[in-house]
């Protein structure tokens, strides 16, 4: 990810489950340096809060440092906000509370708890997953395919288990900015509260509706 010249704000970007920094590549954030956050090792005993602490260790806590999380990265960012109430945090196409998480059913809970998620099926589901994520163009589909193709199964299973078992330990401090799409099929909008909405935005709108997402981020950063 290229940094912007004459930057004033450092924006630490945490991608979604299995994704990488490419999902942020279309954002245009004024006077900011977009910095990708690397995935630390996900121990099979880590819950979401513990893993968020590992992520936070790589992010400075100063007035010029902002955390931006997309999807799974947004869940982690919301946990960082709980650890650091003064940290500026924005999340996109995500959920900030376990109550905003869709019910995945007993079968998926069992698979996630014991690390048995059918990872191979995800890579070959093709059209179904493209539709759920909102990928329509060949570029968007190729990006998602690349994510699925290169995701480490151990990471995927550990992350899924942490999502399914997520329980918050402290209240969410005020100030977190949540941007969500009204057509998100992964995290349904009817479960989301206190968000800034993008009409018709789907789960990968940070990539394919980047201009609108960027405008909201710029506004909240006072740009």
Q: How far is CA 199 from the centre of its chain?
A: 19
Confidence (pLDDT) at 122: 56
Does 123 score more than 80 pLDDT?
Answer: no
Work out the angle at residue 216's Cα, subtended by the Cα atoms of residues 215 and 219, and round it to the nearest 5 degrees.
Answer: 85
Confidence (pLDDT) at 219: 95
Q: How far is CA 152 from the centre of its chain?
A: 17
18 or 139, which is more confident? 139
**Phi and psi of 186, rounded to 5°?**
-90, -45
Does 45 score more than 60 pLDDT?
Answer: yes
Confidence (pLDDT) at 4: 39
Neighbouring residues of 219: CB distance < 8 A, sequence distance ≥ 6? none
Structure tokens at 99: 């109550």
Going from the N-terminus, what domains does the chain have, and what CATH number goes with each?
Answer: 9-101+168-220 (3.40.50.1820)
- Tokens 């004033």 appear where? 8
Give the residue-averaged pLDDT of 76-83: 97
Does 2 score more than 50 pLDDT?
Answer: no
| pLDDT, tens digit (0-9, with 9 covering 90-100), for 149-197 | 888 888 988 998 899 899 998 999 999 999 999 999 999 999 999 999 9
Please give the Cα distance from 145 to 129 (Å, whole number). Answer: 10
Please give the Cα distance from 144 to 134 (Å, whole number). Answer: 10
Confidence (pLDDT) at 116: 47
Going by C-alpha positions, the residue among 123, 92, 106 that lies closest to residue 195 is 92
């Amino acid at each position: 990810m290229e940094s912007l010249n004459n930057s004033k704000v450092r924006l630490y970007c945490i991608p979604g489950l299995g994704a990488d920094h490419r999902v942020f590549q279309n954002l245009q954030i004024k006077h900011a340096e977009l910095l990708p956050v690397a995935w630390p090792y996900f121990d099979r005993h880590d819950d979401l809060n513990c893993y968020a602490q590992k992520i936070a260790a790589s992010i400075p806590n100063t007035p010029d440092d902002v955390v931006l999380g997309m999807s799974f990265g947004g869940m982690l960012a919301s946990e960082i906000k709980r650890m650091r109430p003064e940290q500026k945090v924005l999340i996109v196409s995500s959920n900030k509370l376990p109550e905003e998480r869709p019910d995945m059913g007993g079968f998926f809970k069992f698979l996630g708890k014991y690390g048995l998620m059918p990872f191979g099926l995800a890579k070959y589901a093709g059209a179904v997953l493209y539709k759920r994520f909102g990928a329509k163009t060949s570029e968007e589909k190729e990006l998602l395919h690349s994510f699925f193709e290169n995701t480490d199964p151990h990471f995927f299973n550990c992350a899924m288990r942490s999502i399914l078992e997520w329980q918050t330990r402290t209240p969410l401090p005020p100030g977190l900015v949540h941007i969500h799409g009204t057509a998100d099929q992964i995290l349904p909008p009817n479960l989301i509260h206190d968000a800034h909405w993008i009409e018709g935005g789907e789960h990968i709108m940070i990539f394919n509706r980047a201009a609108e997402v960027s405008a909201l981020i710029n506004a909240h950063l006072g740009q």
